[in-house]
Amino acid sequence: MFDQEPSLPPRTSDPSQERPRTLEEAKAWMLDRTRRRIHPMNNLSVDDTARVVETLDGLDPVRWAASWRSAGEDAWKAAEDTQDLEARRAAFLRAQGFFFLGRFPCPNHPDKLTSATREREAYLAAGALFDNPVARISVPFEGSEVVFLYRRPAGIERPPVIMMWGGVDAWKEQMTAASDLALAQGVATIALDGPGTGESPVKGTPEADRQFLPVMDWAAAQTDLAASKVGLLGRSFGGYWATKLAHVVPDRIAGAVNWGGGAHFMFQREWIERSRHPDSYLMELVETRMRMLGVEDEEGYAEAFARLSLLDQGLLDQRCAPMLLTNGRGDTQCPVADIDLLVGHGTPKAVRMFPGGHMGITPQTMPTIIDWLVERVNMETRA
């Protein structure tokens, strides 16, 4: 443990982080992220984004969802109208990109909820045409079910497994790039929704890590998988759940990556106030977090967030599975002080920091993470 615990960095003086973006600021932000192929704009071309953005006349749920969903329906029709498999797959993925934005950042309105349903349909239609097809599987869970998307590499008799999930707005349908990198190295992938998001059956309470366990059970029971221990990739807020699982069930995990998630400082009132309008988030971060937590007001938000602290839960000095902690040094959405905190407690961890803001998005970031996880799961396979 550190002699002196880490603390939050000085407050930024950037005025753009003190209020929601205007419509024009939002349009410029979306076009910039599309050009740089950064979430949430990484699934569309600049031309596709520009066409929608030019006609967008409001950020309210009705006008927002209508603009993106209309473009998605056009792309869906184009997919249905072609018999060329490659073009059909590309068109369904394009439709998914539009529908994803139509429900972004979360389906907190009926129109956005419709777009979320269409996004899942478009992704499954495209995924059926992948070289490593997507299979939608569900397992029973407390009178409900946990749904996940399973892909396996060709020609590998018993591949190891990496489970992956996103944060409050990136769901299992956004895990394709990470899945592709793992499949290329002979590793099967399971993508699922984090608690309180997508088709998850639970809200993001401190006990929600239990939703991951029946999926681990399923993987371990498959005779054509080497999954007695799995790799975990939690991106953005999902890094929190990877960290918790690494401490709660370390013997079931070959290696876990916290890619831009919190542990303690993220859940404190000071950070809640400072991260309302981070440069890395388009809009409605607080509303999206509240929906994930299952709370109705801001006091409930602060109280629910405080209960998530892994330090206060007494977990951080316990033994944990091998971990890689990674983020961008300038993250204003999740405090990098949480990485310092995790390093100073419990089992030693690996750390890889990248330049930039939330999640440290560079051409090397995701390959570095997947390479580390592949090495960990392969070590278990060889043991």
Q: Report the distance separating Cα 102 and Cα 173, nearest Å.
A: 14
**Percent of the chain having pLDDT more than 90?**
93
**Contact present, 92 and 81 (Cβ < 8 Å):** no
Residues 321 and 256: beta-carbon distance below 8 Å? yes
> 54: which residues sit within 8 A by CB, 6+ positions away?
none
Query: What global pTM score does this model have?
Result: 0.94
Name 350's bridge partners. Answer: 324
* Chain segment 196-214, per-residue pLDDT in tens: 999 999 999 999 999 999 9
Query: What is the dihedral angle through the alpha carbons of 195, 197, 198, 203, rounded to the nearest 10 degrees?
Result: 50
The pLDDT confidence band at residue 16, using thresholds 50, 70 and 90, is very low
Q: What is the pLDDT of residue 13?
A: 44
268 vs 242: CA distance, rounded Å? 20
| Residue 2 pLDDT grade (very low, low, confident, very high; cuts 50, 70, 90) | very low
* pLDDT tens, residue by residue, 107-157: 999 999 999 999 999 999 999 999 999 999 999 999 999 999 999 999 999
- Rounded to an integer, the average pLDDT of 250-272 is 97
Q: What is the pLDDT of residue 8?
A: 57
| CB crowding 37-68: b at 16 or more within 10 Å, else e | ebbbbebbeeebbeebbeebeebebeebbbbb
Q: What is the mean pLDDT of the chain?
A: 95
- Contact 235/259 with Cβ under 8 angstroms? yes
Whether the bond between 105 and the residue before it is cis, its omega within 30 degrees of 0, is yes
Contact between 160 and 380 under an 8 Å Cβ cutoff? The reply is yes
Residue 128 CA from chain centroid, whole number: 22
Spatial separation of the C-alpha atoms in residues 197 and 170, rounded to whole Å: 9
AA identity, residue 85 = L
Region 177-189: what's the mean pLDDT?
98
Strands 144-151 and 188-192: antiparallel
Distances (CA, A) of 145 to 171, 209, 214, 281, 292: 16, 14, 9, 31, 18
- Which token pair is 231? 């790799």
Collect all residues with Cβ–Cβ distance below 8 Å to 345 and sequence separation of at least 6.
1, 311, 316, 317
Contacts for 238 with CB less than 8 Å, ≥ 6 apart:
165, 166, 167, 170, 194, 259, 261
pLDDT exceeds cutoff 80 at 18: no
Q: Which of 35-39, 233-237, 249-253, 322-326 has the lowest mean pLDDT?
A: 35-39
User: In degrees rounded to 5, what are phi and psi of residue 373?
Assistant: -65, -40
Q: How many CB atoms lie within 10 A of CB 101?
A: 26
Cβ atoms of residues 103 and 115 within 8 Å: yes
**What does the pLDDT read at residue 24?**
96
| Beta-sheet strand order (sheet of 161-165) | 135-141, 144-151, 188-192, 161-165, 230-235, 253-259, 323-328, 350-354
* pLDDT at residue 3 greater than cutoff 80: no
Query: How far, in Å, CA of 112 to CA of 67, rounded?
Result: 11
- The DSSP result for 159-213, as a single string, is --EEEEE--SS--GGG-HHHHHHHHHTT-EEEEEPPTTSTT-SS-S-TTGGGGGH
Q: Which residues contact 7 (CB under 8 A, 6 or more apart)?
A: 337
Cα–Cα distance list, 377 to 23, 76, 78, 150, 262 (Å):
45, 37, 40, 17, 24
CA dihedral 6, 10, 14, 18 (to 10 degrees): 80
Q: Is the Cβ–Cβ distance between 126 and 89 less than 8 Å?
A: yes
Q: What pLDDT digit, counting tens, does each position of 315-336 carry?
A: 999 999 999 999 999 999 999 9
Contact 215/139 with Cβ under 8 angstroms?
Answer: yes
Measured between alpha carbons, how far is 31 from 288 in angstroms, rounded to an integer?
A: 22
